[in-house]
Structure 1
Amino acid sequence: MRVPFKKTISVFVFTVYLNISYIIAQDKIPQIQLEKGEVTTAFIEAKIDSIIAILTLEEKVAMTHAQSKFSTKGVERLGIPEVWMSDGPHGVREEISWDAWENAGWTNDAITAFPALTCLAATFNPELANKYGYNLGEEARYREKDVLLGPGVNIYRTPFNGRNFEYLGEDPFLASTMVVPYIQGVQENGIAACVKHFALNNQEHWRDKINVEVSDRALYEIYLPAFKAAVQKANVWALMGAYNKFRGQYTTHNKILHKILKTDWDYDGVVISDWSSVHSTKEAALYGVDMEMGTGTDGLGTTTSNHYQHYFLANPFLKAIKNGELSEDLVDDKVRRILRLIYRTNLNPNRALGKLNTKEHHKVAREVATEGIVLLKNEENFFPIQDKKGITIAVIGENATRNMTQGGGSSQLKPLFEISPLQGIKERYKNATIIHTMGYESGDSVYDEILPATLNQDSLYVKAIETAKKADVVLFVGGLNKSHHQDSEGDDREVFALPYGQEKLIDGIHEVNKNVGFLLLTGNAVEMNWLPKTKGVLQTWYLGSMAGHAIADVVSGDVNPSGKLPFSFPKKLEDNAAHSFGEISYPGNGVDQEYKEDILVGYRWFDTKKITPQYAFGYGLSYSDFTISDVKIDQKKYNKSDTIKVTFNVANLGDREGAEVVQVYVGKHKSKVQRAIKELKGFTKVFLEKGDQKTVSISIAADELGYYNTEVSDWSIEDGNYYLYVGNASNNIVKKIKFSLF
C-alpha cells in the first residue's frame, strides 16, 4: 500500500520528535549509583532531589509499603534497589517465605546466634557492645540485608514482659550508653540498625490495643532517653514503631511522638511500622510512617489478591493524594527518607562484603556471654568447680540440653550450631565424671501456643533424685524458656515462680544432696523461694551459639564472672513498682493502663520506697575481691555548664585477674519535685590483674542532672545540694559525697 508523500513526512517528523524527546528524557535521568568520592551528605541530598523530581506518584507510593513479608519495592526503570529487612536484635533470622510466616527452606541461611540483649546489658561494657554490633552487622551484610530490625530499648518495667530478654534493662542511662556503640557497630557495615519499639511497648499482653497513660516526666526521663541517644548520638538510620496506644492514639502514627522524633530530635531516618501496627491511612501519612510493613490487608483481616496494594499506604494513600485529601509533599518526605536509607545501605559504594560464622564472630559471642553472666550467690565458694578425678557432677534440668535459639517469636534464630550447657560442661571437664538427667520436661516452643510435655513427669522426677544421690555436686540447669507465656513475644508470663515443677524438684534434690548450684537460664527475674536450697547461683541468660562453652568457662573458673544485673530482682511480685498498684497499672483493664509508679522504675522504686530487693540493679559477685577507695570529686561547687570529675582507686585483692564495674549515681537533696533518691549517671568496667590497682575517673556533665519540667515542657536543673554515690551496685554504696550546683 502506498502512503501519500505528505503523510510520510508527517509520520517521519513525529517519529523523530518522539526519539528526540526520549533521548532528552533519558539525559534528565540522574546517575543512580555513586562513586566512592561522591559519598557526602550534600551530594547525596542533591541526588535525592533529582530522583524525586522524575518519579511518578505511583512509583513513590509503591516505595512506602511492603511487597513481601520483609521487603519493599525499588524502581526498576531507574535501577533503584529494593530494601530487604531481617529480624533481629541478636542474630540474623532465617529466610522467611515471600508471603507466609514460614521458613523459606534455604540451606545457606544459618548464622551465629549472639547472646540476647539482657546479657549484653549485663556486661556494662560499651566497647563490647560495639564489637557485638559490628560482628552482627557483618553477618547481616553477608546475608544481603539492608535493615536489621534491632536493637530493642524498651524499658524493663515488669518481670512479666515476654520480651524483656530482647531489651537492655530497667535504667535509661545504661540502655542509652550500651545502645549507641551497638548501633554504630552495625551501621559501620552499611547495614541500618532499626531501634525499636517506639514507644512505651513495655508488655506483650494486649500489646495491640492497650492505651498507655504516662506522665510527661516518666516519658522523657525513663522511656525516651535510649531512643533519643540512638537518634542523636548514634545517628540510627531506622526506627520501628510499636503496637500499643499512647494517650488514645496508636504509637506507630502518634502525633505527639512524631513531633518529638522528627521535629524536636531532627531525626532524618525512616520510621518502619511494626508488622500490622498501622491502622489509618491519614494518620500514617501525617504522623511519620515511612515504610508500612506486615499489614496484610486494609483491615479486612483476610488475605486478598494483590493484598499489598490494599495497605494503608498503598492504593488508599495514592487515592487520597490524587483526590487532594493529602498533600504529595507527604509522600515526597517519605521517599526522601527511603532514598537516604538506600544510599546509606545498598547503594553505598563503600559498603563491605560482610562475613558469616567466622571464628571472630564466635569469639565475640563467647566473650559477650562470659562477661554478661552474673554470679548471684556463692556460698562456701561453691563456684568455680574444679575439674579433678574422683568427683561426680550431676547436671540436672531440661535447660541443660534445650535449644534456646528457637521460639521466642520474631527473635528466633537458625544458628549453624548451639552449644548446650551440658555439651559445654562435658567438653570442658575431662577428669570429673559428668552424669545427666532431664528432671522435668516442657513441650516444644512454638509461637502463641503451649504444647504439652510428652514424657512422664513423675518418672523424670524419680530419676533426677536418684542421679543427685550419686553425685558430689549437682548443677541444676533450669529457669524459663522461649515458649508461650515464658520469655517469648506475643504475650506475657502469668506466674512469677519457676514453671514446670522446678521448685519441687529442687526441694527433692536438696533432701538427698546439699551441694547444689543453679544455672539460671532466663531473660527475666523469677521468684526465688528455692534460694536457701542452693549454694551457688549463676544468672546465665540466653547465650546463643556459644552458650555451653561460655557457661563452662565461668563454672570452671577459666573466666572470672564480671556481669552485673541490668534490672532488679524483687523478692515478691508486689515489690515491683508496676505490680504494686494493682491491675490498672499492670496489665491494665483491657483498654487503658496507667503507669502509676511514674518515674520510680526499677531501683528508683526500691531505693525511694525503702524496699529490699532479692538482688539489686548493678549487683554481681566475682571470684576476686575488689575495693573502691579514695573517692573524690574535683570541686565542691559547680555551675550548670561544668563537668563533674569523679576519681577513685580500684584494687583487686584476690588471687586472680578480674573486673569490677564501678557505678556512680547522683541524687538531688530536698528537690522541689518528686525524684528518686539516686539515678545512675556514670559507670566504668575496670580490668585488673591479681594484686593490681588503678586510679580511674568518670566525668558527668552537670547539665545531665536535670529533670523534665512539665511547667515549661523542657529540662530544668535545680540549684542547691546534690549527693554523689559511688559503689558496685545500686544498694552497695561505698562513698557518698555532697556537692552543690548554682
Structure 2
Amino acid sequence: MTAILCLLGIAGMQAQTKPVYLDNRKTIEQRVEDALSRMTIEEKVAMCHAQSKFSSHGVPRLGIPEIWMSDGPHGVREEIEWDAWGAAKWTNDSCTAFPALTCLAATFNPSLSHEYGVAIGEEARYRRKDILLGPGVNIYRTPLNGRNFEYMGEDPYLAGRMAIPYIKGVQENGVAACVKHYALNNQEVWRGHINVNLSDRALHEIYLPAFKAAVEEGGAWSIMGSYNQFRGEHCCHNDLLLNKILKGDWKFDGVVVTDWGGAHDTKQSVFNGLDIEMGSYTNGLSSRAMFGYEDFYLAKPFLTMLKKGEVPVSVLDDKVRRILRLTFRTNMMPDRPYGRFVCNDHSTAARRVAEEGIVLLKNEKQFLPISTNQYKKIAVIGENASRSLTEGGGSSTLKVKYEVSPLDGFKQTFGADKVVYCKGYSSGPSMYGRVIAPKENQQQLFDAAVKAAKDADIVFFVGGLNKNHQQDCEAGDRITYNLPFNQDKLIEEILKVNKNVVVLLASGNAVAMPWLKDVPAVLQAWYLGSESGNAIANVITGKVNPSGKLPFSFPVKLEDNAAHSFGKLSYPGDSTNVFYKEDILVGYRWFDTKKIKPLFPFGYGLSYSTFEYGKIATDKKTYGQDETIKVSFTLKNTGKVDGAEAVQVYASQPKASVMRPAKELKAFAKVFLKAGETQTVALEVKVKDLAFYNEKTNNWTVESGEFVLRNAASAADVKSSVSIQIK
C-alpha cells in the first residue's frame, strides 16, 4: 500500500497480529471514521481535555499526535512549562512581533491581512503549533476594555472582512486559526462570570457577524469560547451559541476550545457544544488534588457519565470526530508546509502592516512630513519611545527576536547626535493582574522633559497607553479615559515652551485629547510590533504616505460613548449582570443616529495627499432580494505624492418598520493611486446584506422600499449618495 501516513497498532480493545496502516488517499472524513473506529472510550475522552498548559492528548497507541496550541494573535508566544505558567526558557522561541489587530484593521486592506496571516501561520508552523489562538473579533463597545487592542474595531463588517483572509493565510500552513472569544467578551472586569443581557437583534447584527464570516467564509477550523455568561450560561458551554447557532445554523465542522478555565460544569460541557477543555487551575502535578487535568469536567467525570449510560456515545463521538478532523487538517496533513521563523519576509510583512495602519489624525498646515535635515535638535519625549510594547498585555505577551523602538527609529533616521531623549514619566514594570508603582522620581522626569523640549527645535512626544494592568491588558479594564501618568499635563507644559510638537499615541484604545487644539500633528500609532520604529520613521519623513483609517470612533468624552451613556448597568454592570442598553447603536451607529459629534469618527484618517471622490452610481435602480448591487465612482489623487485611500460605502433605509442606524458600512476598498491618477472604484453590495434581524420571525428580513448608498472617506465624511429600490 502506498502513501502510508501512520501506523495504527491496535483496533478498539482487540490486539491485532498485523499492524494496520492508514491510507492517506482516503478523504479526511474517511480517515476520521477509520481512526474513530479503532479508539477505546478512554482514548476518546482523553482527547477532549488538556494534558498540559498548551496541549491536549493524542492517541500514542494509534500514532495520533497531541494537539499543540499557542497564544497569538500578534506573534507566537514563548514556550511555557508543561505544568506551570513560567517560561520554559528555551533559546529558540523568540518570534517576530506583528502589529496588534487594531492596527491590522486600520489598514482597511484585506490582501495585507492575508499576508499577515500567512506570515504568522508560517511562524506557528515552524514552532510546530497546531492551533494558533487568534484572531480576536470581539466588538469594540467601550474604550475602557482592556483587550480591545487584540480585536478589529467596532464594526462587524470590517472585522469580518479583515478576519477572513487572516484565517485563510494561517490555515494555508496547516495551522488552525482559533477565532476568539465567542462571544460577547466585551469587557475584562468581571469577565469570568458577568452575564450579558442584550436583544437578539444586537446579538445577530453586531456581535456575531464577524464570527459568522470567520466560519462560513474564512473556513475557521477552531473557535474559542469566552469567559462570560450569556443568558445565564457560560459561553464555553452555551447551548444557543454553540449548538444552535455555531454548529447548527452556521454548519461549523471544527473544534470548540474553552478559554483557559472557561468550563464550569460537566453536564453543560458535555451537552452544550464544547469539544476540548483547556485550563489553568493547577500545575497538574503538586496541585493535582485541587483540579488536575484528569479532574477536568471533560475528563474523568465525563468518562463516568458515559460508563453509567448518562451520555450517549454519539455525543462523545461528535467531539472526537471534530478533533480528529482538525488533526488531519493540521499535524497529520500529508503535505503540510514546514513553515519559516523570524525571516526578512516576516519583518517586511510586519512593517507594511504597521505603515499602512498608522493613522494621521491631525496635520495642521501640512506640518508633516519632515525631512531628515529639517531640524538640528530633536527632543524625543515619552516612555513609549523606548519601552518594549511587545511585552505585557496578558496572554498576547511576546518574546521577540528584535524590536526597533520609536527612539531607535528616530536615531537611525535623523542621526543619533541630533536626538535628545527624556522619558517624561514612568509607568512601572508590567505585571499580570497587578499595578506596580514606578521607582523613578516622577517630578524629575517631568521637569527634565520640559527642559529638553524648550531647548529643541521639534518635539516628538511618544506616549499613550502600554500593556500594564488597567491599561491595554487582559484581566483588567482601564479606569480612566484620559492618558495615564500625568501625560496630559506634560504635553500641556511642553506646548508652553515649544509649539512644534508631534504626538504619537501607542494604544489599542481611544483616549481623551484635551490638548488637541494646540498640537500641530497627531498620529495614532497602535502597538506596531518588531518594526515599530522603522514604520513610524518612514511615515514621519514621508517615505511612506499614511493611509490608515480608524477602526473605531474616538468620543470627545467617555459619556459620549453609547455603552457609557446609560450608566453603570450598561457598563460595567452590577458585578452579576450587564445590560447592553444601546442595543444595535454601537460606535458610529450611535454617533450618527444620535447626532453626537465624535472627536474622530470611524473610518477617519488623513494623508499627505488629497483625494477627490466622484459621484456614486449603481448599475441599475431596482433590485431583487437575491441580487448584488454594483457600485462605482471615480477616485482621483489630487495631491503631489502617491498615496492610498480607504474608500467606504455605507447603506441606510430611510423608512423601515424597525429602528435602523443612520448608516452602516457595507463595502470598502484600499485604493492606491499615483499623484494625479484617477481610477474607477467598483464595489459590490449584496441585497441580502441590507437585511435586519427580525425578532418576530427569528430570521433576517430585507424590506421592500428605498435604500440609500453613500460613498465616504469616513463615517462623518460622506461624498455623495444614490437611491435604489428593493423589491
Q: Deviations over 1:104-147 (max 9, x none)?
A: 01010001000000000000000000000000000000001000
Residue 66 (str. 1) matches residue 46 (str. 2): no
CA-CA distance at 1:446 after TM superposition = 1.2
Q: Deviations over 1:489-547 (max 9, x none)?
A: 00100000000000111111011001111011100000111212311000000000000
CA-CA distance at 1:22 after TM superposition = 12
Q: Mapping of 1:160-179 within 5 angstroms? A: 160-179=144-163
In 1, Cα distance between the equivalents of 2:548 and 2:540?
A: 14
CA-CA distance at 1:635 after TM superposition = 1.3
In 2, Cα distance between the equivalents of 1:217 and 1:664?
A: 22
CA-CA distance at 1:320 after TM superposition = 0.7
Residue 424 (str. 1) matches residue 424 (str. 2): no
In 2, Cα distance between the equivalents of 1:216 and 1:230?
A: 20
**For residue 705 of structure 1, what is the amino acid of its counterpart?**
L
Q: In the alignment, which residue of structure 1 is the partner of 2:342?
A: 357
- Structure 1 residues 392, 334: closer, same or farther in 2, change over 3 A? same
Q: Mapping of 1:337-356 within 5 angstroms? A: 337-356=322-341
Residue 461 (str. 1) matches residue 446 (str. 2): yes
Q: More displaced, 629-638 or 463-472?
A: 629-638
**For residue 675 of structure 2, what is the amino acid of its counterpart?**
K
Give the counterpart of 2:631 among 646, 649, 657: 646
Matched residue of 2:614: which SS?
Answer: strand
TM-score w.r.t. length of structure 2: 0.96
Give the counterpart of 1:104 among 66, 88, 91: 88
In 1, Cα distance between the equivalents of 2:311 and 2:133?
A: 30
TM-score w.r.t. length of structure 1: 0.95
Give the counterpart of 2:73 among 85, 89, 93: 89
Q: In the alignment, which residue of structure 2 is the partner of 1:442?
A: 427
Q: Deviations over 1:189-242 (max 9, x none)?
A: 000000000100001000001000010000000000011011110110000000
Residue 77 (str. 1) matches residue 61 (str. 2): yes
Q: In the alignment, which residue of structure 1 is the partner of 2:4?
A: none
8 Å Cα contact 1:30-1:47 kept in structure 2: no
In 2, Cα distance between the equivalents of 1:383 and 1:556?
A: 7
- Structure 1 residues 27, 124: closer, same or farther in 2, change over 3 A? farther
Q: Mapping of 1:139-538 within 5 angstroms? A: 139-258=123-242, 259-296=244-281, 303-304=288-289, 307-388=292-373, 391-430=376-415, 433-538=418-523
Matched residue of 2:502: which SS?
Answer: strand
In 1, Cα distance between the equivalents of 2:613 and 2:670?
A: 12
CA-CA distance at 1:637 after TM superposition = 1.5
In 2, Cα distance between the equivalents of 1:23 and 1:85?
A: 30
In 1, Cα distance between the equivalents of 2:450 and 2:183?
A: 47
**For residue 86 of structure 1, what is the amino acid of its counterpart?**
S
Q: Deviations over 1:422-459 (max 9, x none)?
A: 00111111498111111111101110011111111111
Residue 700 (str. 1) matches residue 685 (str. 2): yes
Residue 51 (str. 1) matches residue 41 (str. 2): no
**For residue 26 of structure 1, what is the amino acid of its counterpart?**
Q
In 2, Cα distance between the equivalents of 1:545 and 1:298?
A: 32
**For residue 242 of structure 1, what is the amino acid of its counterpart?**
S
Q: Deviations over 1:527-573 (max 9, x none)?
A: 11121231100000000000000000101111000000000000000
**For residue 213 of structure 2, what is the amino acid of its counterpart?**
A
- Structure 1 residues 689, 20: closer, same or farther in 2, change over 3 A? closer
Bigger Rg over Cα: 1
Matched residue of 2:409: which SS?
Answer: helix
CA-CA distance at 1:21 after TM superposition = 11
Matched residue of 1:304: which SS?
Answer: helix
In 1, Cα distance between the equivalents of 2:590 and 2:579?
A: 16
8 Å Cα contact 2:260-2:278 kept in structure 1: yes
Give the counterpart of 1:26 among 10, 16, 19: 16
Structure 1 gaps, min length 5:
1-18
In 1, Cα distance between the equivalents of 2:505 and 2:223?
A: 33
Residue 658 (str. 1) matches residue 646 (str. 2): no
Matched residue of 2:327: which SS?
Answer: helix
Q: In the alignment, which residue of structure 1 is the partner of 2:114?
A: 130
CA-CA distance at 1:53 after TM superposition = 1.6
Q: More displaced, 676-685 or 423-432?
A: 423-432
In 2, Cα distance between the equivalents of 1:652 and 1:436?
A: 38
CA-CA distance at 1:31 after TM superposition = 2.5
8 Å Cα contact 2:11-2:37 kept in structure 1: no
Q: In the alignment, which residue of structure 1 is the partner of 2:100?
A: 116
Q: More displaced, 633-642 or 143-152?
A: 633-642
- Structure 1 residues 223, 152: closer, same or farther in 2, change over 3 A? same
In 1, Cα distance between the equivalents of 2:621 and 2:427?
A: 58
In 1, Cα distance between the equivalents of 2:604 and 2:12?
A: 70
**For residue 310 of structure 1, what is the amino acid of its counterpart?**
D
In 1, Cα distance between the equivalents of 2:250 and 2:41?
A: 29
In 1, Cα distance between the equivalents of 2:175 and 2:559?
A: 42
8 Å Cα contact 2:609-2:643 kept in structure 1: yes
CA-CA distance at 1:383 after TM superposition = 1.1
In 2, Cα distance between the equivalents of 1:55 and 1:405?
A: 43
8 Å Cα contact 1:478-1:521 kept in structure 2: yes
In 2, Cα distance between the equivalents of 1:641 and 1:22?
A: 50
CA root-mean-square deviation: 1.9
CA-CA distance at 1:30 after TM superposition = 4.5
Residue 625 (str. 1) matches residue 610 (str. 2): yes
8 Å Cα contact 1:668-1:723 kept in structure 2: yes
Shift >4 Å, 4+ stretches: 19-25, 27-30
Q: Deviations over 1:267-324 (max 9, x none)?
A: 100000000000011111101111100153699x964288111000000000011011
8 Å Cα contact 2:53-2:280 kept in structure 1: no
In 2, Cα distance between the equivalents of 1:650 and 1:734?
A: 11
In 1, Cα distance between the equivalents of 2:130 and 2:571?
A: 37
Q: In the alignment, which residue of structure 2 is the partner of 1:736?
A: 721
Q: Mapping of 1:504-583 within 5 angstroms? A: 504-583=489-568
**For residue 650 of structure 1, what is the amino acid of its counterpart?**
L
8 Å Cα contact 1:388-1:432 kept in structure 2: no
Q: Deviations over 1:166-193 (max 9, x none)?
A: 0000000000100000000000000000
Matched residue of 2:451: which SS?
Answer: helix
**For residue 337 of structure 1, what is the amino acid of its counterpart?**
R
**For residue 276 of structure 1, what is the amino acid of its counterpart?**
G
In 1, Cα distance between the equivalents of 2:166 and 2:406?
A: 27
In 2, Cα distance between the equivalents of 1:290 and 1:30?
A: 28
- Structure 1 residues 24, 478: closer, same or farther in 2, change over 3 A? closer
In 2, Cα distance between the equivalents of 1:700 and 1:476?
A: 42
8 Å Cα contact 1:208-1:244 kept in structure 2: yes
In 1, Cα distance between the equivalents of 2:154 and 2:427?
A: 29
8 Å Cα contact 2:10-2:19 kept in structure 1: no
- Structure 1 residues 442, 692: closer, same or farther in 2, change over 3 A? same
Q: In the alignment, which residue of structure 1 is the partner of 2:694?
A: 709
In 1, Cα distance between the equivalents of 2:291 and 2:186?
A: 34
Q: In the alignment, which residue of structure 2 is the partner of 1:11?
A: none
8 Å Cα contact 2:259-2:279 kept in structure 1: yes
**For residue 95 of structure 1, what is the amino acid of its counterpart?**
E
